[in-house]
A and B are shown apart, each in its own frame.
Chain A
């Protein structure tokens, strides 16, 4: 375990990047940060500015215009950082996948390091995911994807035909 990863895992500042979610995941994220679960025990605090963030929590999907903005926001995050997809939407689009303004799941154009499935996931599930991510980082099994590859641009057209109803 190198010093960079050790320093990162001991003090994680969380930034909440909410897409057009149905708000359930957002509520669960805020729940996980309340005094009941007390994530400050592990040095995790919620920050208001993306420049202060170490972990970006993505919830919901982004429509075509928002996707470009979301990618810009991620590009402004100081490296190294992690992106966590909260809920099923960042992974598959779930109930939004047939929307007229939806293009593809956020995982296509964002370097999401880990997904927390569930609709919405419980605070316990989010905390368990964070613990697994920390363990993965420390054992070297997980390397922040932002250090490895550039994500595909969010405004490239989709090749396959959208399966509209």
Chain B
């Protein structure tokens, strides 16, 4: 009985259906704000849904000589991982008791999976441009994971717990110097994790023409797009939970409103960054993340350990 309930939660709320709808709406916000920045009208509200629906009626092309099984399974892997991540996150947000020791670590691992799925899919498609995109994705991931994990250590040190339920109810780490530094690091890493400009080299439309996803069409492409949209929704939620914990938990509607506003600010920041920066080269990105960003993250972790 209980396992059936979990399956329902996975498929509908707060799992696949909820996250997909929220993610597609977030991607609409992204496109609409981009349109407004460029002084045009932009797509209608339901456009991301139409895009996904259209991809499901298209033919699925399989590249000749590619690893077909892996090619078709990779998008499923990413979609399942981000759904599970969002489900763990939202279960904790809705009910603080629904947490377990180390769920933060599980979450960090699950959020690596979408990037991994893009990598696997691109290498399986046997296209030179796709494998170039895949290799860039590998390098980018190696670059941003170190500072991201270091920055996530800061709330963990402050709350002295690796359970999400404790992080949500703990005092917001962002009121400390270390929290602010770690949040800045996390925003930079989020941009790279979502592979949006300035860190969109894996997809680089102008030189790799779609990059890692170049060979995908039809439903598998729809799954990748859905995964991206869901990540765009889930990553800011994770940052809100980690850094604004105490503000967004508690009884009444006020924490929910504050949480939504903070989430929206993070999304808007991402979109504005995307529209005002050019794409950097992969070596510049690695140098950026392993140099200043990692140093700031390390500093934040040390400061947090010292109690700042």
Contacts and interface: CB of A to CB of B under 8 A. Distances in A.
B47 A43 contact: yes
A35 B206 CA distance: 18
Nearest to B43: A40
A48 B40 contact: no
Contacts of B213: 49, 52
B42 A78 contact: no
A11 B47 contact: yes
B198 interface: no
Contacts of B57: 3-4, 7-8, 80
B44 interface: yes
Given A76-B61, A78-B59, A38 B40 contact: yes
Contacts of B39: 35
Contact of A11 (B35, B50, B215): B50
Contacts of A38: 35, 40-42
Interface size class of A (residues with CB under 8 A): 20 to 34
Given A78-B58, A79-B58, A35 B40 contact: yes
Contacts of B56: 7
Interface string A117-133: 00000000000000000
Contacts of B31: 40
Interface stretch (B115-123, B216-224, B255-263, B272-280): B216-224
A47 interface: yes
A41 B216 contact: no
Nearest to A5: B57
A78 B50 contact: no
Interface in B13-63: 31, 35, 38-44, 47, 50-51, 53-54, 56-61
Contacts of A36: 40
Secondary structure dominating the interface of A = loop
Contacts of B218: 78
Given A4-B57, A78-B61, A80-B58, A48 B210 contact: yes
A41 B44 contact: yes
A10 B50 contact: yes
Contact of B38 (A35, A51, A76, A80): A35
B42 A41 contact: yes
Contacts of B42: 38, 40-41
Contacts of A76: 61
B214 to A, nearest CB: 4
Nearest to A41: B41
A22 B150 CA distance: 55
Question: Which residue of A4, A43, A52, A54 has the most chain B CB atoms within 10 A of its CB atom?
Answer: A52
Interface in A42-101: 43, 47-49, 51-52, 54, 76, 78-80
A143 to B, nearest CB: 15
Given A11-B53, A79-B59, A52 B217 contact: yes
Question: Which residue of A7, A8, A48 has the most chain B CB atoms within 10 A of its CB atom?
Answer: A48
B210 A7 contact: no
A76 B205 CA distance: 19
Interface in A9-36: 10-11, 35-36
A7 B54 contact: yes
B284 interface: no
Contacts of B210: 47-49, 51-52
A47 to B, nearest CB: 7
B160 interface: no
B61 A49 contact: no
Interface string B188-224: 0000000000000000011011100111111001000
A10 B58 CA distance: 13
Contacts of A80: 57-59
A48 B127 CA distance: 14
A36 B44 CA distance: 17
Given A43-B50, A78-B59, A49 B214 contact: yes
Given A43-B50, A51-B217, 13 more contacts: A4-B57, A7-B54, A7-B56, A11-B50, A11-B51, A36-B40, A38-B41, A49-B209, A49-B213, A51-B216, A52-B210, A54-B54, A79-B58
Interface of B: 31, 35, 38-44, 47, 50-51, 53-54, 56-61, 205-206, 208-210, 213-218, 221
10 contacts: A3-B57, A35-B35, A36-B40, A51-B61, A51-B215, A51-B216, A52-B213, A54-B58, A76-B61, A78-B61
